[in-house]
Structure 1
Amino acid sequence: MSLNKLNPLDLSQPSIRALHLSWFAFFLSFMVWFSHAPLKPLIVETLAMSADQWKALLILNVALTIPARIVIGILVDKFGPRHVFSGLLCVSGLLCLGFASAQSFEQLALTRFMLGFVGAGFVIGIRMVGEWFPARQVGLAEGIYGGWGNFGSAASAFILPSLAVGVFGTFGGWRAAIACTGIIAIVYGLFYYWRARNTPKGSTYFKSKKSGGLEVSNKKDFWLYIAMNIPMYAILGVLAWRLGPSNISLLSQNLVYLMWVILIALFAFQFSQIYRVNKEMLEHGVPEHDKYEFKQVAVLNWAYFVTFGSELAVVSMLPAFFLETFTQLSLAEAGLLGGAFAFMNLVARPGGGWISDNFGRRRSMSIFIGGLAVGYFVLSQIDGGWPVALAVLAVMCCSFFVQAGEGAVFAMVPLIKRRMTGQIAGMTGAYGNVGAVTYLTAFSFMDASTFFLIIAGSAVATFFLVQMLTEPQGHMSEMMPDGTIQRIELT
């Protein structure tokens, strides 16, 4: 296979087989994660849920993914993608079966909250693909992984309403449709363990020197790293308040206070872990060959906040938005049209990675984030007077820039520090979920038009942050098990 060309149809190449094994695992994790969204009317009717309870369910679905992506990133760097992806699929499949059999809103809320962990599956494949492809191909490869895998949410919107109504209508309806995704995830988790390998034959799987936090290169980066952890805890605190008695009333006020105390304690614990990991650096510095700029991680985090964060929020509400805006649509039709946003993942995210590989990391990301700001502004203007076809076209154009931006972000993530790729991907991915919870919390207070405008405004701010990115050049260095230094080319 040429170093300059990547042919995803060439299954004779072990790297291509690893790519396909991984994107489909990610695809299934997203099917499980968003299996509830297109089935809203059926679930609400079965359990007599209120509108506030449904919005709470949407927020809970993405909340746990924030810490989960951090945890999964650490586990991937320590144990490798093969073990972690297999375990995640099997456990999430069981939780999916629990959601399908829930008999009360409280049971739905608990299992949906726990299913937020499956959203961390994305992080695993980022490290896997980064191991199998060289720097000049990694953007496209990560784009294929992320784009084709992300299509799992669209597949849920396309397939599950028809299964629930047309196939399983007399045999449990939405419950049977959702249970199917869980069973498939379990079976494929076992298959992935059997067939996947962490690295090409003869390659070294670099592991972090210490676990518990990212290693940084100087004191300034240490404090920036600490500051970048604050929004993850803050948005979970806002979520606890949103679920409290003054809003949705899922939690008592005392439980809200308890959640806040736990979050403060967790932040203090994480601070201690980050200090432990970086204590030697703070006292003695870091060898020149081992340095990297944490600023790169911070900018990528905020870029993913506005790209993937907005996608998660929008795919959660878009089927219902179409159903309520265009009253002539059926449930299946609204689910199909709502899936149009995620449908663009098939080409947009690989396209964003390829453009990043060939035309510059910062320039491509700037174009995509600027484009999504314009796209969300256009979506804010949609109302029942629009032709449905024009509304769908606007959604797909906006989603192209959103998902191409995601591809550009993760085209750069594996080029920062190889042994910490899982943790960097985990933190960046977690910021996507911080964005999702932030946007969905905002959505619970406002109409769809204002919601889209909020996203557009945050994209404009992120555009200026992206200008701070430094293009990765030359090589990164990693320590081999025998103590020698290996240069990993970035061109």
Structure 2
Amino acid sequence: MTADGRATRINLLDFTTPPMRTFHCSWFAFFLCFFAWFGIAPLMPIVREEMALTASQVGWCIIGSVAITVVARLAVGLLCDRFGPRRTYSALLVLGALPVMGIGLARDYPTFLAFRVAIGAIGASFVITQYHTSVMFAPNCVGTANATTAGWGNLGGGVTQLTMPLAFSLLAGTLGLGTFWGWRLAMVAAGATCLTMGVAYYLLTQDSPRGDLDERTHRRRPRGGFRRAASDRRVWALFVLYGACFGVELTINNIAALYFVDDFDLGLRAAGVAAASFGLMNLFARTLGGALGDAFGGWIGLKGRVTWLFTTVFLEGLALMAFARMSSLVFALPALVVFSLFVQMAEGATFSVVPFVDRKALGAVAGIVGAGGNAGAVAAGFLFRGALPWSTALMVLGAAVAASSFLALGVRFSEDAEAEAAAEFEAAVGRRAATTAAA
């Protein structure tokens, strides 16, 4: 532990200290949010047939699912600065569960689209996850902590591709509820878990290693954090870069099942398994990206974190273009896994940089950069509205990702910031070594 209580190591078997309790609660809460957010995606072939959706309407559903999250992520970053992550996360989980369950009421395209848009707000949970772990962990492991909580949370996008088709089959077939009720009740169950977690998060976590923020602390917190963050060009470079990785992940989560059904003639369950291979890489790949960001930070400094970010985003773009050219499932699946590896590592690399940009406006910085992921997904969504074959759209998207990677080279830090980060890193490593020796 540092002097202010931040953890200098990640002990996965520790469920008692405030940092590790927050670690486990935040990744699991984000996992449930991500599961619910994209729970309908693997069921879209069923919904498309039931509601007779056109290619353009499916495209608008893809765009709508991530559009509102841009605004929501900006808002929750400010709310974390103002009211603390514990209250903000609990409120988001409870309120966000309502449209997840409510989508079962949809009987036509306009109603379905409205609920699909509203569900996107729950994706703002990512910003709170990153904020909460950023204040709980020291510089020597904050990148790894951020990447792991986000990566294990994003894993929900892969798990939902596997489990929602199974849940639908159980409800519709085994229990005899039929297609109409099968996918609707599956979404009700996903929303109910988020609602339960909202209560648990409030009871089990605290705002910082030293405790909760009281009302007096709220009144004394610095204002103008969003203005500070928005005036920093580095924040907007990271905004675009996060759009190029997390935005792409959101897009693939939305289209993967349909892509494998339409272009590779797979059934619903087989398409879900194929699509899940992309999301399941979050089990370790994002953590690897953050851990290597920490390693480069200890070796070269903040410049090393940025260089690693550039490398991962550039290779992600190349891997996506390679996947887009695959016409055989035998080659498409390995290409998808390699592409997924770089996507997740790029996300971890991004948030190994974010905590060092402006600590006095951490919530605002995390909110803006996090919103960039969804802004990227909205922009990418327009490629999948039917004007282009999806394989061509993926090729265009890959080229755009590779080009955007060069923005990372413009994210620079002052000599004072480099020195401060280096000193904190060494101090955290020293405390960790002392703790290990004492143990």
* Pairwise same-fold verdict (TM > 0.5): yes
Aligned to 1:391: 332
Preserved CA contact (<8 Å) 1:299 1:468 = yes
Q: CA deviation at 1:380?
A: 1.5
Alpha-carbon distance between aligned partners in 2 of 1:202 and 1:183, rounded to the nearest angstrom: 29
Matched, 1:412 2:412: no
**Separation of aligned partners in 1, 2:233 and 2:140:** 22
**Which one of 286, 296, 303 corresponds to residue 234 of structure 2?**
296
The alignment status of 1:121 with 2:125, answered yes or no, reads yes
Which secondary structure does the structure 2 equivalent of 1:376 belong to? helix
* Structure 2 equivalent of residue 326 of structure 1: 264
Q: Which residue of structure 1 aligns with residue 429 of structure 2?
A: none
- Superposed, 1:269-280 pairs within 5 Å as none
Tell me what 1:110 maps to: 114
Q: CA deviation digits over 1:363-390, x for unaligned, max 9?
A: 211221121011011111111xx1x243
Q: Does 1:214 align with 2:189?
A: no
Pairwise CA distance, 1:391: 1.3
AA of the residue aligned to 1:122: F
Q: Deviations over 1:299-336 (max 9, x none)?
A: 21121011111111111111111111221x22011011
Shift of 1:5: 4.2
Q: Distance in 1 between matches of 2:9 and 2:201?
A: 26
Could you tell me how far 1:396 is from its partner in structure 2? Answer: 0.8
Structure 1 residue 316 and structure 2 residue 254: aligned? yes
SS at match of 1:135: coil
- The alignment partner of 1:136 has SS state of coil
**Residue type at the aligned position of 1:446:** L
Provide the C-alpha distance between the structure 1 equivalents of 2:38 and 2:211, rounded to a whole number of angstroms: 38
Give the letter aligned to residue 254 of structure 2. Answer: S
Give the partner amino acid of 1:38: P
2:315 aligns with one of 362, 371, 380: 371
Equivalenced residue count is: 402
| Residue 380 (str. 1) matches residue 324 (str. 2) | yes
SS at match of 2:226: coil
Cα deviations by residue, 1:70-104 (Å, 9 ceiling, x for unpaired): 11111111011111111111111111111122122
Distance in 2, matches of 1:36 and 1:203, equals 36
Whole-Å separation in 2 of the counterparts to 1:68 and 1:490: 32
Please state whether the residue corresponding to 2:210 is helix, strand or coil: coil
1:489 Cα deviation after fit = 3.1
> What residue number does 1:163 align with?
167
Structure 1 residue 192 corresponds to structure 2 residue 201: yes
Q: Are 2:50 and 1:46 equivalent residues in the alignment?
A: yes
2:306 pairs with 1:362: yes
Structure that is richer in helix per residue: 2
Which residue number in structure 2 is paired with residue 261 of structure 1?
none
- 2: distance between equivalents of 1:302 and 1:92? 26
**Shift in Å, 1:32:** 1.3
- The structural deviation recorded for 1:398 is 0.4
The code of the aligned residue for 2:70 comes to: I
Asked whether the equivalents of residues 126 and 422 of structure 1 are also in contact (C-alpha less than 8 Å), the reply is no
Q: Residue 463 in 1 paired to residue 405 in 2?
A: yes
Find the aligned partners of 1:188 and 1:412 in 2 and give their Cα distance.
Answer: 29
Superposed counterparts of 1:126-205, under 5 Å = 126-169=130-173, 170-171=176-177, 172-201=181-210
CA contact (8 A) 2:37 2:123 kept: yes
CA contact (8 A) 1:70 1:423 kept: yes
Structure 2 residues not aligned, in runs of 5+: 297-303, 427-439
Inter-partner Cα distance in structure 2 for 1:475 and 1:127: 20
Aligned partner of 2:13 among 9, 14, 25: 9
* Residue 74 of structure 1 pairs with residue 18 of structure 2: no
**Structure 1: segments with no counterpart, 5+ residues:** 217-221, 226-293, 477-486
**C-alpha distance after superposition, 1:223-250 (max 9, x if no partner):** xx4xxxxxxxxxxxxxxxxxxxxxxxxx
Change (3 A) 1:190 1:12: closer
Q: Deviations over 1:423-461 (max 9, x none)?
A: 111101111111101111122121122212222221222
Provide the residue aligned with 1:347 in structure 2. Answer: 284
The whole-number CA distance in structure 2 between the counterparts of 1:7 and 1:99 is: 39
Partner of 1:454: 396
CA distance in 2, matches of 1:4, 1:464: 32
SS of 1:344 mapped into structure 2? helix
CA distance in 2 between partners of 1:18 and 1:305 (Å): 26
Name the stretch that deviates more: 395-404 or 295-304: 295-304
Aligned match of 1:26 in 22, 27, 30? 30
Normalising by structure 1, report the TM-score. 0.78
Deviations 1:226-276 (A, max 9, x none): xxxxxxxxxxxxxxxxxxxxxxxxxxxxxxxxxxxxxxxxxxxxxxxxxxx
| Aligned partner of residue 489 in structure 1, secondary structure | helix
Contact 1:160 1:177 in 2 (8 A): yes
Task: Supply the distance in 2 between the matched residues of 1:25 and 1:39 (Cα, whole angstroms).
Answer: 22
2-structure distance, mates of 1:441, 1:208: 40
Q: Which residue of 2 aligns with 1:489?
A: 424
Tell me which moved more, 134-143 or 158-167: 158-167
Equivalent position SS for 2:222: coil
Shift of 1:4: 6.0
Q: AA paired with 1:362?
A: V
Question: What is the SS of the residue equivalent to 1:213?
Answer: helix
Cα deviation for residue 202 of structure 1 reads: 5.9
C-alpha displacement of 1:167: 3.5
CA 49–8 in structure 1, closer or farther in 2 if over 3 Å, else same: same
What residue number does 1:431 align with?
A: 372
Contact 2:158–2:279 (CA under 8 A) maintained in structure 1 = yes
Deviation, 1:295, is 2.9
* TM-score, with structure 2 as normaliser: 0.87
